[in-house]
Structure 1
């Protein structure tokens, strides 16, 4: 069967848990020599002893590939460290509701639904949605088995109509490697303001980010006008990089209970330390 003939139900049956190492991914089909062919990968979820199957489409652009920060969030979800970050600040008496921004392939949102048993909405631009839907369908079994749900929605940051359709009734917003193009800094901040600022309900945005350029400091400077921004996790550098992925927590200032330092999974980081991270 060629990759173009693989259907979601066929992908699920190819899974072999015993051959996968925790926090790693393996090819189902190696398509590197065939430009334009899909690249199927299975990501082992140790906590569930099962795989999440993801179709990447490298020739279609950046939104169709797995980025480093997504892998970090995936690992934190699997090790249940995300639970600690959330429960440290908020207590919920209902099933967790999560919105993912810039979902790309959907790995993080799908994993969150399966591992946390959460109701997750994965979002991205219109041309990315078909592949997102494919991956959601491919993982219906593992998501349902964990008691979660995943739905897809189109969301262009800053688009008021689309933001209103998606709504703001979420407990946690997630995003990985979303601070990339500088022309999207303002639309992203406006979207976060809509989701986090105002109202009585406390919400947080967990953003996994791999620093690439000095210009990213502009985003954080603007963001801190509206949000308390804390470091909650640091990943070790990999693949020869000088820095690792950092996970930030954003909370609307009117809802913040932050003090001069923030409790993190890696220790206490002061405001001064945060300045050095951006």
Structure 2
């Protein structure tokens, strides 16, 4: 199995076509003390047909409101992998889901949910109890998307709960708790000033107890855009076992494909 060191080189050339314009992100402006500019809000909708349950999830995007209101490339890959999941599959992604199902109903926490497509798809496909989280200003649209797809969730008993979470904030992390079987996220490594808060959150969730003693993992979909992202992975490997468990090939507009990593405590054993 390939380890994360494969993407650690600062010399790797990144295709600028795949780089999101992070300087325009409302999250970045808020972190810098600037109030995001008020602009017209064109609404876009994206349909995802989930073959495994023969249902369609509809997601509302508000691109003018910032990156948290748009669909990111790694989310599409994550949904595709969820849609191809079956308990009998032996690929590493499916195995991670199956191993996490230690209870009749899988409990999932999603970090940096954005539009909510991954968490909603997980609830619908797996019949899971999913808590989707993001910054407070993102939650209205996140809840809108969860409510809009409630009929898709119902047949398999899936549920989606919406909650605020600022990475690294102890009170918010404690309010969310650790009682989850699986932690997920997609395209969450972007602003370098958020690397340490994200790692603090992962340490709280994966290393500090809670759960029923099973090996808890974080599955992270990622499309690399910036050379500086290697710094996040170098820090992460000081605390976690980090393995590459899925890799898409390059697409027509990107020299790199989406990858999925599994984070776990260093002494975790996977069969």
Kept in 2: contact 1:178–1:209 (CA 8 A): yes
- Match of 1:59, SS state, is helix
Q: 2:119 aligns with which of 109, 121, 125?
A: 109
| Alpha-carbon shift at residue 252 of structure 1 (Å) | 1.6
Is 1:238 the equivalent of 2:248? no
State how far apart, in whole Å, the 1-side matches of 2:103 and 2:46 are. Answer: 35
- Match of 1:93, SS state, is coil
Unaligned runs of 5+ in 1: 1-33, 264-278
For the aligned residue pairs, the C-alpha RMSD in angstroms reads 1.6
What's the counterpart of residue 143 of structure 1? 153
Q: Which moved more, 1:77-86 or 1:172-181?
A: 77-86
State how far apart, in whole Å, the 2-side matches of 1:237 and 1:35 are. Answer: 34
TM-score by length of 1: 0.77
Q: 2:49 aligns with which of 44, 52, 65?
A: 44
What's the counterpart of residue 221 of structure 2? 208
- Deviation readout 1:222-265 (Å, 9 max, x if unpaired): 001111000110012113211100100000224x115xxxx8xx
Report matched runs for 1:95-106 at 5 Å. Answer: 95-106=105-116
- TM-aligned CA distance change 1:94 to 1:243, over 3 Å: same
- Match of 1:231, SS state, is strand
Kept in 2: contact 1:124–1:156 (CA 8 A): yes
- Match of 2:227, SS state, is coil
Is 1:86 the equivalent of 2:91? no
- Deviation readout 1:54-105 (Å, 9 max, x if unpaired): 0000000000000000000000000116433322x45513311100000000
State how far apart, in whole Å, the 1-side matches of 2:208 and 2:145 are. Answer: 34
- Paired positions, count: 224
What's the counterpart of residue 9 of structure 1? none
Kept in 2: contact 1:197–1:253 (CA 8 A): no
TM-score by length of 2: 0.79
Kept in 2: contact 1:56–1:66 (CA 8 A): yes
State how far apart, in whole Å, the 2-side matches of 1:175 and 1:75 are. Answer: 14
- Deviation readout 1:24-63 (Å, 9 max, x if unpaired): xxxxxxxxxx952211221111111110010000000000
What's the counterpart of residue 128 of structure 1? 138
Structure having greater relative contact order (Cα 8 Å, sep ≥ 6): 2
After TM superposition, the runs of 4+ consecutive aligned structure 1 residues lying more than 4 A away are none
What's the counterpart of residue 169 of structure 1? 179
